[in-house]
Amino acid sequence: KQEVTQIPAALSVPEGENLVLNCSFTDSAIYNLQWFRQDPGKGLTSLLLIQSSQREQTSGRLNASLDKSSGRSTLYIAASQPGDSATYLCGYDKLIFGTGTRLQVFP
Protein backbone atom coordinates (compact mmCIF):
# COMPACT_ATOMS: atom_id res chain seq x y z
CA LYS A 1 0.00 0.00 0.00
CA GLN A 2 1.37 3.39 -1.00
CA GLU A 3 1.58 5.74 1.97
CA VAL A 4 2.87 9.17 2.83
CA THR A 5 3.75 10.11 6.40
CA GLN A 6 4.36 13.62 7.57
CA ILE A 7 6.16 14.48 10.77
CA PRO A 8 5.47 16.39 12.92
CA ALA A 9 1.69 16.46 12.74
CA ALA A 10 1.64 19.87 14.36
CA LEU A 11 4.21 22.51 15.10
CA SER A 12 4.01 25.81 16.97
CA VAL A 13 7.01 28.11 16.89
CA PRO A 14 7.90 31.75 17.51
CA GLU A 15 8.45 34.04 14.58
CA GLY A 16 11.94 33.95 13.08
CA GLU A 17 12.72 30.29 13.60
CA ASN A 18 14.00 28.06 10.83
CA LEU A 19 11.82 24.98 10.36
CA VAL A 20 12.09 21.52 8.87
CA LEU A 21 9.01 19.58 7.87
CA ASN A 22 9.40 15.92 6.99
CA CYS A 23 7.66 13.75 4.44
CA SER A 24 8.34 10.05 3.97
CA PHE A 25 6.86 7.79 1.33
CA THR A 26 6.88 4.10 0.62
CA ASP A 27 7.01 4.13 -3.18
CA SER A 28 10.53 4.80 -4.47
CA ALA A 29 9.43 4.87 -8.13
CA ILE A 30 7.81 8.28 -7.94
CA TYR A 31 7.67 10.68 -10.89
CA ASN A 32 7.57 13.90 -8.93
CA LEU A 33 6.81 15.20 -5.46
CA GLN A 34 5.04 18.41 -4.58
CA TRP A 35 4.75 20.42 -1.41
CA PHE A 36 1.52 22.33 -0.87
CA ARG A 37 0.11 24.80 1.56
CA GLN A 38 -3.52 24.65 2.66
CA ASP A 39 -5.23 27.40 4.60
CA PRO A 40 -8.36 26.51 6.61
CA GLY A 41 -11.33 25.83 4.36
CA LYS A 42 -9.32 26.43 1.23
CA GLY A 43 -7.78 24.45 -1.57
CA LEU A 44 -4.11 23.66 -1.96
CA THR A 45 -1.48 26.08 -3.18
CA SER A 46 1.53 24.53 -4.85
CA LEU A 47 4.78 25.62 -3.22
CA LEU A 48 7.47 23.51 -4.81
CA LEU A 49 7.67 20.61 -7.23
CA ILE A 50 10.67 18.30 -7.36
CA GLN A 51 11.02 15.96 -10.26
CA SER A 52 12.45 12.51 -9.65
CA SER A 53 15.70 13.48 -11.35
CA GLN A 54 16.18 16.47 -9.06
CA ARG A 55 17.50 16.65 -5.50
CA GLU A 56 16.09 19.98 -4.39
CA GLN A 57 14.15 23.06 -5.34
CA THR A 58 14.17 26.54 -3.85
CA SER A 59 11.65 29.35 -3.86
CA GLY A 60 12.29 32.35 -1.66
CA ARG A 61 12.47 31.22 1.95
CA LEU A 62 11.45 27.69 1.03
CA ASN A 63 13.74 24.84 0.11
CA ALA A 64 12.61 21.30 -0.56
CA SER A 65 14.85 18.28 -0.93
CA LEU A 66 14.14 14.83 -2.27
CA ASP A 67 15.91 11.54 -1.56
CA LYS A 68 14.14 8.84 -3.50
CA SER A 69 16.37 6.03 -2.26
CA SER A 70 15.38 6.64 1.34
CA GLY A 71 11.84 7.72 0.51
CA ARG A 72 12.15 11.11 2.13
CA SER A 73 11.54 14.74 1.35
CA THR A 74 12.02 17.73 3.60
CA LEU A 75 10.64 21.24 3.40
CA TYR A 76 12.86 23.86 4.98
CA ILE A 77 11.29 27.19 5.90
CA ALA A 78 13.74 29.94 6.75
CA ALA A 79 12.96 32.83 9.07
CA SER A 80 9.37 31.80 9.67
CA GLN A 81 6.63 34.45 9.76
CA PRO A 82 3.08 34.46 11.16
CA GLY A 83 1.81 34.43 7.59
CA ASP A 84 3.41 31.01 7.15
CA SER A 85 0.81 29.54 9.51
CA ALA A 86 -1.10 26.88 7.56
CA THR A 87 -1.17 23.14 6.94
CA TYR A 88 1.62 21.87 4.74
CA LEU A 89 1.03 18.72 2.70
CA CYS A 90 3.34 16.71 0.53
CA GLY A 91 2.10 14.51 -2.24
CA TYR A 92 3.46 12.59 -5.16
CA ASP A 93 2.31 11.66 -8.62
CA LYS A 94 -1.05 13.38 -8.09
CA LEU A 95 -2.49 10.51 -6.16
CA ILE A 96 -1.01 10.13 -2.74
CA PHE A 97 -0.93 12.81 -0.08
CA GLY A 98 0.17 13.00 3.51
CA THR A 99 -2.09 14.18 6.32
CA GLY A 100 -0.07 17.34 6.65
CA THR A 101 1.83 19.32 9.24
CA ARG A 102 -0.22 22.04 10.90
CA LEU A 103 2.13 24.94 11.43
CA GLN A 104 1.49 27.90 13.66
CA VAL A 105 3.98 30.74 13.81
CA PHE A 106 3.27 33.22 16.57
CA PRO A 107 4.63 36.77 16.79
- Report the interface residues with other proteins, using CB under 8 A: 4, 31-32, 34, 36, 41-46, 49, 51, 89, 91, 94-95, 97-100
36 versus 77: smaller Cβ distance to other proteins: 36
Distances (CA, A) of 73 to 24, 36, 42, 84, 104: 6, 13, 24, 19, 21
Task: Tell me if 47 sits within 8 A of 32, measured CB to CB.
Answer: no
12 versus 18: smaller Cβ distance to other proteins: 12
Give CA–CA dist 53/103, Å, rounded: 29
Task: Tell me if 68 sits within 8 A of 28, measured CB to CB.
Answer: yes
CB of 42 to other proteins, least distance (A): 6
CB of 30 to other proteins, least distance (A): 12
CB of 17 to other proteins, least distance (A): 24
32 versus 63: smaller Cβ distance to other proteins: 32
Beta partners for residue 67, in sequence order: 72
